[in-house]
Amino acid sequence: MSTHTDNKLCLAQIMGEIPADDQKQLLNILNQLQEKNGYIAERDLEELAVLSGTPESVLHGLMSFFSSYRTRPLGRNHLLVCSGTACYACGADLIYNRLVSGLDLDEYGTSPDGFITVEKVQCVGACSLAPVTITNKELEGKVKFTQITEKLASLRRCDGGQGA
């Protein structure tokens, strides 16, 4: 797990990679910070505000506008359930609701043991394959709930004994 000092060094490194006259590339900075840390902690936003001279309110506005930014770490596995119109019509919400109730997820969609984070997302652009899920960046279409539970069981077996 990274420390606050590590995160400050990471942010300073990212800021150092951007030309001094171009410190307003906030989205680029946020993207790089999230890529390196997996999420953007509140203390990182505070530090970025100081280093870039940008009000924290602007940074929070960007974070809330773009849903891809995370303020908490993900579970070791990441499952996205598409909720676009085609997927919804093919039962994606039912799949999502069964997953949430069966996995005892917290308010952020992460299991207590950190095994998985489940999120509902807007259309992923694979409507002809509805319903669609993306597990650890691997898209699967025409999924059934049983396929997902089998995949999760397989991931659990490969989880290296971590968690429950």
Mean pLDDT by 10 residues, the chain (164 residues): 55 62 73 89 90 88 89 94 98 96 91 95 96 97 96 91 54
pLDDT at position 1 is: 46
The answer regarding whether domain 77-159 maps to CATH 3.40.50.1220 reads no
pLDDT at position 37 is: 85
Sequence length of the chain is: 164
pLDDT at position 68 is: 84
CA angle, 116 as apex, 136 and 67 as ends, to 5°? 70
Domain boundaries, the chain: 10-65, 77-159
- Omega of the bond leading into 131 within 30 degrees of 0 (cis): yes
pLDDT at position 21 is: 46
Annotated binding site for [2Fe-2S] cluster: 82, 87, 123, 127
Annotated binding site: 82, 87, 123, 127
Q: What amino acid occupies position 140? A: E
